[in-house]
């Protein structure tokens, strides 16, 4: 299928994408909004947007994904979508009765210029219910931007500093990660004895247990009261510059809660720095339980390091995840030589900064020469791999075409993973997440070695 990909790389000036490594903002906003308790995400646009996002999220999480749509028609596009949104709000509260509706826009409604705050103001909203919104023009950024925007809107709508004295609690913004990762970050924080509020928190929403009943609003999600109380916390820890730092910055601006932005805690170094940040903020000692886990991880890393050393890797996906993975594979002695994200580098003036600079710093320190690109596509990644082959590909399901064409093993990490299950329940963050990644990576490399070994080289013990 990828036969047309040539080694010969020509600069592309058309700006189009061949086999994208990103998708559009609204799906990120929808996912973030699912992390609010009792919230129904609402897509203000054509029916297809909502349907595509639900389909994509359903395939990744294998759980029902609920969201409503303004169901645009030609008339709404010409005369504005105000009437549609008002009807939608009325219908949703009447029929589905969520506590909160979280509206996000689409390219269509951004372009026709619907003024969402004003429409919400004049909509019929029952007592005690709430409608929040965020702007997610699909032609800016990526799904990661959309997640960041909706999370920032949670601060705008909910966070309140009700006292001058801050509480001994930490806000944790986990970024665009799986519920399994959110659960692990919460477990680590609990083990540190640090009171916390995580937002958004999709655990218990998109990984809900089987009860034989369908619950449109499952038990999980950050509650309104918790979201409001984020303004009283002593500190905010944003995990991931692209998906989490904007909301943390806004919380500082609005409620004077100082923000620390860290890498997504993938691997030993980033997990250390997450725990050290909590330790510094609360002066708690790291409990033995976590020290033991860390020791086990180091033990595993030493036990297996010879499997990894010098192996070349290509990594693609969302910027926060790719940054964390790059740092982690470097710590194993691997060589990440092609590193790419589809998400653009970050808007000018935002706290997000540059993906390419971050990665360059990491690989430079390790003395690895790498191809690095933000805003890239998988066609480019494939060309890089053809020019300079790798032993392993790490990325989303969309990497499987390249993996097959070039016959390299693929370790599935990030969003979306559409062809395997259980991944969303299992963490890649924290020490235990790092152990799981080592299992996945060494499993992939050794299975390959077994497959390719000549009879006389095929060994029982590896």
Partner 1 sequence: MSQTLAINERQDFITTKGRQKAHLKCDADSIAGCVSQRACVYCGARVVLNPITDAIHLVHGPIGCSAYTWDIRGSLTSGEELFRNSFSTDLKEQDVIFGGEKKLSAAIDKLAIKYNPKLIFIYSTCIVGVIGDDLEAVAKAAAKRYGIQVIPVQSSGFIGNKSAGYRAACDALFRLIEPADRTMVGKDKSINYLGDFNLAGEAWIIRDYFRQMGVTVNVVLTGDASSADLKKATRASLNIIQCAGSMHYLAGRMEETYGIPFMQVSFLGLHDTADSLRRVAAAIGDKEVLARTEALIDRELAVTAPVIEDYRRKLAGKKAAVYVGGGFKAISLIKQFRELGIEVVMIGTQTGRQEEYDTIHELASDGTVILDDANPSELEKFMTEQQADLLVGGVKERPLAYKLGKAFIDHNHDRKHPLSGYVGAINFAKEVYSTVCSPVWKYVRSGDEGCE
Q: Which of residues 72-91 bind partner 1 (CB under 8 A)?
A: 72-74, 76-77, 84-85, 87-91
- Letters for 119-138 (x = contact with partner 1 by CB under 8 A, - = none) are ------------------xx
Do residues 32 and 65 lie in contact, with contact meaning Cβ atoms separated by under 8 Å? Answer: no
Nearer to partner 1, 214 or 306 (CB): 214
- In 3D, which of 343, 393, 398, 340 has the Cα closest to residue 370? 340
Please state the closest distance from residue 344 (CB atom) to partner 1, in A: 9
Q: Does 142 bind partner 1 (CB under 8 A)?
A: yes
User: Residue 23, interface with partner 1 (CB under 8 A)?
Assistant: yes
**Residues of span 167-226 touching partner 1 by CB under 8 A:** 208, 210-216
Which 395-424 positions form the footprint of partner 1 (CB under 8 A)?
398, 401
Listed ranges 24-32, 195-203, 268-276, 283-291: which one lies at the site for partner 1 (CB under 8 A): 24-32
Q: Is 242 in the site for partner 1 (CB under 8 A)?
A: no
CB proximity list for 148: less than 8 A, separation 6 or greater: 28, 242, 243, 244, 245, 246, 247, 352
For partner 1, the closer CB: 142 or 230: 142
Give the Cα separation of 257 and 5 in Å (integer).
49
Q: Which of residues 33-62 bind partner 1 (CB under 8 A)?
A: 40, 42, 45-56, 58-59, 62
Euclidean distance between CA atoms 30 and 285, whole angstroms:
37
Q: Are 192 and 279 in contact (CB under 8 A)?
A: yes
At 297, list the tokens. Answer: 């991880």
Residues in contact with partner 1, shown as a per-residue x/- string from 337 to 366 under the rule CB under 8 A: -----x------------------------
Q: Which of 97, 122, 273, 421 is in the footprint of partner 1 by CB under 8 A?
A: 97
User: Interface with partner 1 by CB under 8 A: which range of 1-9, 260-268, 323-331, 364-372?
Assistant: 1-9
Asked if 3 interacts with partner 1 (CB under 8 A), we say yes
Q: Applying CB under 8 A, which of residues 140, 228, 300, 366 lies at the interface with partner 1?
A: 140
Q: Does 69 bind partner 1 (CB under 8 A)?
A: yes
Residue 274 and residue 267 in contact, taking contact as beta carbons nearer than 8 Å? no
Backbone φ and ψ of 209, nearest 5°? -75, 160
Q: At what angle do helices 319-331 and 267-282 cross, to 10 degrees?
A: 110
Buried b (16+ CB within 10 A) or exposed e, 68-79: bbbebeeebbee
- Does 8 bind partner 1 (CB under 8 A)? Our answer is no
Query: What tokens appear for 366 in the block?
Result: 């390790």
User: In the bound complex, what is the minimum distance in angstroms from residue 22's beta carbon to partner 1?
Assistant: 6
And the tokens for 146?
């959309």
Which one, 111 or 193, has the nearer CB to partner 1?
111
In the complex, least distance from residue 14 CB atom to partner 1, rounded to whole angstroms: 4
Task: Decide if 317 contacts 336 (C-beta within 8 A).
Answer: no
Out of 66, 120, 130, 192, point to the residue binding partner 1 (CB under 8 A).
Answer: 66
Instruction: Give the nearest distance from C-beta 455 to partner 1 in angstroms.
Output: 34
- Residue 378 CA to residue 197 CA, distance in Å, equals 37
In three-state secondary structure terms, 168 is strand
Shortest Å, Cβ 41 to partner 1: 10
| Burial classification of residue 3, based on how many CB atoms lie within 10 Å of its CB (0-12 exposed, 13-18 middle, 19 or more buried) | exposed
């Amino acid at each position: 299928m990828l036969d047309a990909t040539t080694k010969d790389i020509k600069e592309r000036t058309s700006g189009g994408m061949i086999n994208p490594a990103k998708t559009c903002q609204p799906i990120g906003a929808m996912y973030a909004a699912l992390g609010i308790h009792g919230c129904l995400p609402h897509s203000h646009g054509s029916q297809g947007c909502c349907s595509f996002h639900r389909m994509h999220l359903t395939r990744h999480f294998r759980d029902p994904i609920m969201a409503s749509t303004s169901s645009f028609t030609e008339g709404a596009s010409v005369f504005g979508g105000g009437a549609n949104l008002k009807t939608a709000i009325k219908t949703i509260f009447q029929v589905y009765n969520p506590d909160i509706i979280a509206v996000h826009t689409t390219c269509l409604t951004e372009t026709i210029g619907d003024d969402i705050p004003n429409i919400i103001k004049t909509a019929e909203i029952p007592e005690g219910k709430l409608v929040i919104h965020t702007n997610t023009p699909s032609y800016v950024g990526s799904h990661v931007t959309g997640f960041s925007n909706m999370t920032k809107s949670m601060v705008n709508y909910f966070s309140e500093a009700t006292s001058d004295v801050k509480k001994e609690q930490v806000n944790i913004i986990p970024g665009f990660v799986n519920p399994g990762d959110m659960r692990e970050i919460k477990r680590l924080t609990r083990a540190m004895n640090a009171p916390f509020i995580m937002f958004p928190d999709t655990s218990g929403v998109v990984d809900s247990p089987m009860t034989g009943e369908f619950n449109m609003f499952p038990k999980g999600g950050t509650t309104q009261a918790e979201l409001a109380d984020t303004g009283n916390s002593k500190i905010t820890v944003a995990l991931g510059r692209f998906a989490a730092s904007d909301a943390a910055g806004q919380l500082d601006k609005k409620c004077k809660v100082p923000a620390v932005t860290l890498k997504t805690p993938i691997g030993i170094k980033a997990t250390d720095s997450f725990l050290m940040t909590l330790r510094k903020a609360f002066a708690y000692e790291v409990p033995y339980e976590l020290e033991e886990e860390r020791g086990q991880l180091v033990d595993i890393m030493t036990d297996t390091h010879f499997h990894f050393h010098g192996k070349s890797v290509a990594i693609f996906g969302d910027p926060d995840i790719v940054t964390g993975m790059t740092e982690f594979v470097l710590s194993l002695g691997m060589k990440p030589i092609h590193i790419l994200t589809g998400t653009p580098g970050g808007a000018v003036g935002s706290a997000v900064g540059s993906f390419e600079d971050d990665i360059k710093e990491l690989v430079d320190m390790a003395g690895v020469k790498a191809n690095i690109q933000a805003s890239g596509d998988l066609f480019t990644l494939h060309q890089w791999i053809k020019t300079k082959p790798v032993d392993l590909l790490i990325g989303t399901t969309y990497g499987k075409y390249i993996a097959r064409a070039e016959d390299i093993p693929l370790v599935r990490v990030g969003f979306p993973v559409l062809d395997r299950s259980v991944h969303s329940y299992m963490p890649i963050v924290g020490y235990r997440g790092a152990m799981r990644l080592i299992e996945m990576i060494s499993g992939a490399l050794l299975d390959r070695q077994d497959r390719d070994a000549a009879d006389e080289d095929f060994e029982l013990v590896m």
